[in-house]
Amino acid sequence: MAESKDDQRVVVMVTGASGLVGKAIQQCVTEEQNSAEEWVFLSSKDGDLRDFNQTRALFEKYRPTHVIHLAAMVGGLFKNMRYPVEFWNDNVHMNNNIMQLSREFKVKKLVSCLSTCVFPDKTTFPIDETMIHNGPPHASNEAYAYAKRMIDVTNRAYNKEYGCNFTSVIPTNIYGPHDNWHLEDSHVIPGLIHKFYLAKQNGSDMTVMGSGTPLRQFIYSKDLALLFIWVLRHYHSPEPIILSVDEEDEVTIAEVARTIADAIGFSGELRFDTSKADGQHKKTASNRKLRSLYPDFQFTPFQQGVKAAVDWFVANYETCRK
């Protein structure tokens, strides 16, 4: 029996698409020009995903066959410490609504986004996909981490009970154009880029919060976008997959700061305020699973990615999220 047009149609609905990952996916899709797929990019302006009825209205309007769920309440270390209730409630409501409606509307594939903060605080390194539930996460962002862990639990539950093709990815620290550049409530790279920009403009020295010794793996947003699209099309397991650069590409926060200083042309003095919290010292993640399935993927070198992010921020300073 021939497939109907409804069986053949592919409509990919991306939530949280106004952020750096959503914008990067949009760029990749535009460059690819795949006429067999229709992509719908949603932001909070299209509907409040914490509200079940508003979320249902979006599913009814677009009838997606595939969903990439990026929408989340996110923020850096200090925002996580200030608003734990909102981090739990907002994320759990969004995730539950997306999953329930994806099942109801017979979505063929749902890809949700976790974070390396889901891993236990006390663990061995490198961390891998089997270790998510081996102990409590770091106390500084436990509400957000547990909300994200529950995506993994519910993905497997929906697969077991209903046969749903729901999965999740675990990116390491993401950076790139279209980030949130807020001086207080941003992640480390965009926050530092903004501060270095202002220090250069003002001719002042630069102080980085913390010791500069923590280690992190950073993935450029366009690299992550390409891997999201690959997962959507080719990775079919409810078990999560880490999307990360290799272990040897891990850098210290001090190296991050110096790379940004070079990229932006900052020539003042750089200091580290060791009285401020560092968060976890390291979160080294293994990408062995990704490399076994997609061995040829080429990551953007860190210095090149930082330069691209800096150049975008400077060019879009007046209008970017800050």
Query: Which positions are annotated as active-site residues?
Result: 144
How would you class 243 by CB atoms within 10 Å of its CB: exposed for 0-12, middle for 13-18, buried for 19 or more? Answer: buried
Q: Rounded distance, CA 177 to CA 93, Å?
A: 28
Q: Rounded distance, CA 243 to CA 162, Å?
A: 27
